[in-house]
Amino acid sequence: MDSKKKWWKDYYAGKLLWFGIACIGCAFYFFAPTLFTTEKSLIEKRGKVENVKAFYTRVSSRGHKSVKSELILNLENDQRNYKLAKNIEQSWNNEKYELIEKELKKSGKAVVWIKESEKSEMEPEVFQIATGENNILYDMDDVKSELKFLFPFLIIMGLLGIGLYLNHKYPNRIKSLMGKKPAHNNVYKT
């Protein structure tokens, strides 16, 4: 094999290894804590609604412009900001957040579920919101809906990157694991 060609293969195989590790690391660091949160690990905060507001902000990343929808909720005698945020692409309308705002203003009371481990944080992650009458407006399925796709996607991409690296670095071992005999072990009888 040409040494220049081998150098490039080694270089990109190494990049695939780091890509795979990064994908798996991101999946577990960013998405797993939210995705695997159970209702038993949540606590509820009740109170009168001091302020609730849904608003939109234009954001851009690498030249791509989109709209971020946010809902901020403050309860009386509670310094925390309970915040929901979602990128809604080009739409200037998030009916879900506007419905939550309307219902909470009408009720005047709110119940918010957060992780017990985040109870001392100023902006804890919100897992569920209900009116004072326990009418659920935002639940755990809403929080986890996008993560149910992203987490397995990143794990698969990570395993694929690591697998391609291992296949490049140890082709004979991988072939023997797959049940195929490596080419150099073939014995030809004449």
pLDDT digits (tens, 9 = 90+) for 165-182: 998 888 777 777 777 665
Q: Does 138 lie in the same domain as 110?
A: yes
Q: Does 150 lie in the same domain as 138?
A: no
The pLDDT assigned to 91 comes to: 73
Mean pLDDT of 63-86: 87
Count of beta carbons in the 10 Å neighbourhood of residue 163: 14
Q: Does 66 lie in the same domain as 151?
A: no
Confidence of residue 145 (pLDDT cuts 50, 70, 90): confident
Q: Does 105 lie in the same domain as 46?
A: yes
Range of weakest confidence among 15-19, 38-42, 109-113: 38-42
Q: Does 55 lie in the same domain as 25?
A: no
CB 138 within 8 A of CB 100: yes
Q: Does 97 lie in the same domain as 52?
A: yes
On the question of pLDDT at 69 being above 90, the answer is no
Domain range enclosing 184? 1-36+146-190
User: What domain count does the chain have?
Assistant: 2
Q: Does 46 lie in the same domain as 80?
A: yes
